[in-house]
């Protein structure tokens, strides 16, 4: 009985009901849109982190990342082929990228610059690590003496694709070894630190410079980051002397700190939006309830208790909050899907040098959370308003104009 009475009350004053609906819809839509924006930024950040350098994670000798060794190559992995064969047999693993990294001097003409080299199976990595964004020349693939340079490093050396670069590295035996390479391309990830120091050559050429057949670490390409825990557990069981580290730990300074900052920012904006929604609904519902003092007085005089009056008002608030929230979610999704489907061009973030496109990314949990938070705000506002009017005596309510 009280449910249908609450439903009918919503149609008694369409202007008032519409005002409350709009307040809830705008608040819910804004909350949902901002959640989609933050989710889109996080997805873009994760995508670039995975496909520019780290993959979904890397495998190192146990404790290698936390230690500083006088001769780090002595601690590299010598069972590369065995490890690679095993990893391809693990469910969820699609790509295996053995690598070595080393410090070297790069010389072109009269310029000598220090850089951080990566020896890779370039043809295997070319398709997966496409966030390197080759701006000039072409991606390093099968060229045996090719070298791929970061944009900052190439600018410092004043070279372009086709130019020759001499690389000097310290071998495992402790003496200098030289190699001559031809620049195949210049990449730009957007990270000024990465682009200013990193270069890539073929893994056999890097091992030749370093006088070693070992590999330092293995990067992994998976079906999804959800497969990482199972892969890491399987690896630890089969190779207890190795450890697997996910990409968010490897790139904690840029990726994980950015994620934490964006989530904290969203929490603040969420509180602000919900506060506006709550105050707006409280004002609208309070005004409507004060206008209905005589009606509520009559209900009390006919035997309705304070609890029943509050239940009726809370039901009205819940119904209008549900409808308003759905309208807000539908409106925000429609506008963003049809009018901003190409995403928004964003300026470079901290430590970045390139703009990036962010698309609004929506998931079902976001719908449920936005709906629940907006309804909760409306119910809280309805409760305080109903509590205020329920405390009035019957005589005071009936005398109200």
- Whether the per-residue pLDDT at 333 is higher than 80: the answer is yes
pLDDT of residue 349: 64
**Structure tokens that stand for 372 in this block:** 């629940």
The string over 357-368, giving b where at least 16 C-beta atoms fall within 10 Å of a residue's C-beta and e elsewhere, is ebbbbbeeebbe
DSSP state for residue 129 in the 8-state scheme: -
pLDDT of residue 314: 83
The pairing of beta strand 176-187 with beta strand 164-170: antiparallel
The string over 184-200, giving b where at least 16 C-beta atoms fall within 10 Å of a residue's C-beta and e elsewhere, is bbbbbbbbbebbbbbbb
- Whether the per-residue pLDDT at 57 is higher than 90: the answer is yes
What integer is the mean pLDDT of 280-290?
Answer: 68
pLDDT: which is higher, 125 or 1: 125
Residues in contact with 270: Cβ distance below 8 Å, sequence separation at least 6, in sequence order: 31, 34, 35, 373
Q: Per-residue confidence at 289, pLDDT binned at 50, 70, 90?
A: low
Instruction: Scan for tokens 């370093």, then name that residue.
Output: 210
Q: Which of 98, 205, 186, 101 is nearest to 145 (CA)?
A: 205
**Angle, CA 266 vertex, CA 49 and CA 21 arms, to 5°:** 135
Q: Per-residue confidence at 285, pLDDT binned at 50, 70, 90?
A: low
What distance in Å separates the CA atoms of residue 196 and residue 86, rounded to the nearest whole number?
35
pLDDT of residue 286: 67
pLDDT of residue 118: 96
The pairing of beta strand 176-187 with beta strand 134-137: antiparallel
- Whether the per-residue pLDDT at 218 is higher than 90: the answer is yes
Q: Is residue 207 exposed (0-12), middle (13-18) or buried (19+ Cβ within 10 Å)? A: middle
pLDDT of residue 316: 81
What integer is the mean pLDDT of 386-401?
Answer: 70
Q: Please write the tens of the pLDDT for every residue from 144-182.
A: 999 999 999 999 999 999 999 999 999 888 889 999 999
Query: 10, 320 in Cβ contact below 8 A?
Result: yes
pLDDT: which is higher, 350 or 19: 19
Helices (H), ranges, 180-225 = 192-195, 203-210
Q: Chain-wide mean pLDDT for the chain?
A: 85
pLDDT of residue 1: 54
Full-model pTM = 0.77
What distance in Å separates the CA atoms of residue 282 and residue 288, rounded to the nearest whole number?
10
> Could you tell me what percent of the chain has a pLDDT over 90?
40
Q: Is residue 52 exposed (0-12), middle (13-18) or buried (19+ Cβ within 10 Å)? A: buried
pLDDT of residue 254: 75
Q: Please write the tens of the pLDDT for every residue from 341-383.
A: 787 777 766 656 666 777 888 878 888 888 888 788 778 877 8
The string over 232-256, giving b where at least 16 C-beta atoms fall within 10 Å of a residue's C-beta and e elsewhere, is bebbeeebeebbbbbbbebbeebbb
What integer is the mean pLDDT of 380-396?
Answer: 75
């Amino acid at each position: 009985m009280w449910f249908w009475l609450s439903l009918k009350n919503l149609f008694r004053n369409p202007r008032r009901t519409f005002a409350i609906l709009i307040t809830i819809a705008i608040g819910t839509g804004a909350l949902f849109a901002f959640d989609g924006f933050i989710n889109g930024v996080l997805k873009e950040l994760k995508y670039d982190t995975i496909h520019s350098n780290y993959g979904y994670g890397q495998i190192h000798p146990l404790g290698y990342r936390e230690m500083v060794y006088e001769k780090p190559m002595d601690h590299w992995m010598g069972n590369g082929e065995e490890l690679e064969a095993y990893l391809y047999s693990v469910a969820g693993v699609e790509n295996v990228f053995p690598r070595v990294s080393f410090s070297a001097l790069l010389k072109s003409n009269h310029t000598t610059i220090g850089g951080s080299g990566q020896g890779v199976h370039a043809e295997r990595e070319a398709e997966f690590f496409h966030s390197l964004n080759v701006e000039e020349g072409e991606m390093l693939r099968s060229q045996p003496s090719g070298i791929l340079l970061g944009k900052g490093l190439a600018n410092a050396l004043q070279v372009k694709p086709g130019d020759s670069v001499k690389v000097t590295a310290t071998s495992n035996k402790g003496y200098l070894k030289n190699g001559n390479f031809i620049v195949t391309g210049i990449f730009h990830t957007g990270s000024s630190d990465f682009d200013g120091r990193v270069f890539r050559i073929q893994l056999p050429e890097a091992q030749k410079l370093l006088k070693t057949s070992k590999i330092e670490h293995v990067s992994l390409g998976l079906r999804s980051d959800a497969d990482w825990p199972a892969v890491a557990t399987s690896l630890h069981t089969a190779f207890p002397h190795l450890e697997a580290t996910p990409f968010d730990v490897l790139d904690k300074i840029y990726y994980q700190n950015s994620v934490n900052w964006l989530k904290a920012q969203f929490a603040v904006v969420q509180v602000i939006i919900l506060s506006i929604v709550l105050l707006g609904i409280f004002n609208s519902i309070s005004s409507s309830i004060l206008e209905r003092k005589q009606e509520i007085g009559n209900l009390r005089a006919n035997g309705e208790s304070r609890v029943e009056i509050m239940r009726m008002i809370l039901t009205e608030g819940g119904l209008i909050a549900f409808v308003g929230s759905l309208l807000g979610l539908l409106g925000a999704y429609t506008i963003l899907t049809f009018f901003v489907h190409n995403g928004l061009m964003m300026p470079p973030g901290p430590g970045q040098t390139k703009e990036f496109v962010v698309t609004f990314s929506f998931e079902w949990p976001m719908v449920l959370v936005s709906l629940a938070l907006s309804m909760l705000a409306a119910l809280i506002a309805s409760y305080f308003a109903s509590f205020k009017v329920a405390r009035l005596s019957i005589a005071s309510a009936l005398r109200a104009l």
